[in-house]
Amino acid sequence: MPSSNSGFQHLSQAALSRSRFLRLAAGALLPFMGLRMSAAAAPNPDLAQNSGAPGTKDTAAQGRMGAILVSQFGPVKIHSYLSPADGFHVNTQMIEGPTAVVIFDGQLLLPYAGEVASYVQTLGKPVDRIILSHAHTDHWSGLQVLTERFPDARVFALDGVANQLRARGSARLDSFRPIYGDRIATKVTIPTETITEGLQRIDGITYDFKRFDDAESDLQLAALLPEQKVLMAFDLVFSPNEHAFTLVDHFDHWVIILESLKALQGYDTITIGHDTPVHRSAIDSTMTYVKRAKAIHAASADAKTYSESLKAAFPDLQHAEWVDLSAKLLYAAPR
Ligand SMILES: [Zn+2]
């Protein structure tokens, strides 16, 4: 059943119009069949099954602020929760296997994490574990809610992430609180388990976990699902329609990592940290962006110049406000 023609690839950014995304964000449960992709998108039997499969119905969809996308790869379903824009369009991926669910990332804002938790509960399977992809606040703040709602789920991250959160998590939350008030976490959720690199089977699903240093963040997990041919790239790859975050000056190494992802054969479907899954061509567009950002950084003496130049270089990309945030951190005193 799993094949390169399965699942997310039809949900390319090119195919997903902004109005359609906004409809998604309005809260409907839309398995891929419901998205009516471009005319070029071939009917996919996996998706047809998906539309009527048990567990994809969501009676709580009405009024949901985020959007849920579901794709089926044989016995495995990937449910992606996308937050509204004020939560940075962060994704929480829920990998549903035969007997359990594995959650990746926990949202920035508590209400959105609450929506994730409520949705997971409709699947009727226990949460085996929660895995944090990296130590940026938009991915872990909402773990507070997820760990409250799923107290038996252990929280995993790469070695080093827990220390980063211990050192800086509280200050990060404080920096967001003036903007988001009580929608941001009140406490730092520290991962308790270390995830090791390499192949692991969880609930019958094979994962190949990889650690990447010095890219969008200092320390980033990626996960391959070799049987489903899905690359979970998190914040290593960004949507071709949106600005990327450039918070630290690891531009050159980030490009090297992107080259290594590009060399992976057969992984045409990439789930990313922000916004809907993308085709592998997003690796190229992210590379183009990072290289341009590097050049602009080298030529810009301050955050304002960097931000204005990067926005001018990519006038069509969405979320220009992300560039301001990046510039502020990129030009801040060394941490
Ligand atoms: Zn992120």
**DSSP codes joined into one string, 68-112:** EEEEEETTEEEEEEE--GGGTTBEEEEEE-SS-EEEE---SSHHH
pLDDT at 74: 86
Angle at 190 between CA 188 and CA 193, to 5 degrees: 165
Average pLDDT, the chain: 83
Distance 233 CA to ligand 1 centre (A): 11
Distance 17 CA to ligand 1 centre (A): 22
Alpha helices of the chain — where are they, by DSSP H? Answer: 18-25, 45-52, 110-122, 137-140, 143-149, 161-180, 251-262, 281-299, 303-313, 320-330
pLDDT at 333: 61
CA distances from 52 to 49, 56, 71, 205 (A): 6, 7, 12, 22
> Comparing C-alpha atoms, which of 146, 170, 171, 169 is closest to residue 156?
146
102, β-bridge pairs: 95, 129
Give the model confidence (pLDDT) of 144-188 as tens digits: 999 999 999 999 999 999 999 999 999 999 999 999 999 999 999
Distance 110 CA to ligand 1 centre (A): 16
pLDDT at 10: 35
Ranges of the chain with pLDDT below 70: 1-62, 333-335
Distance 64 CA to ligand 1 centre (A): 22
pLDDT at 321: 92
In angstroms, what is the C-alpha Rg of the chain? 19
Distance 183 CA to ligand 1 centre (A): 17
Distance 281 CA to ligand 1 centre (A): 19
Distance 38 CA to ligand 1 centre (A): 28
pLDDT at 7: 45
pLDDT at 262: 95
pLDDT at 84: 93
Find out whether 174 and 186 touch, Cβ atoms under 8 Å.
Answer: no
Q: How far apart are CA 335 and CA 327, in angstroms?
A: 15
Distance 43 CA to ligand 1 centre (A): 32
Distance 200 CA to ligand 1 centre (A): 25
> Comparing C-alpha atoms, which of 61, 62, 92 is closest to residue 79?
92
Other C-beta atoms within 10 Å of 161: how many? 25
Q: How far apart are CA 213 and CA 253, in angstroms?
A: 8
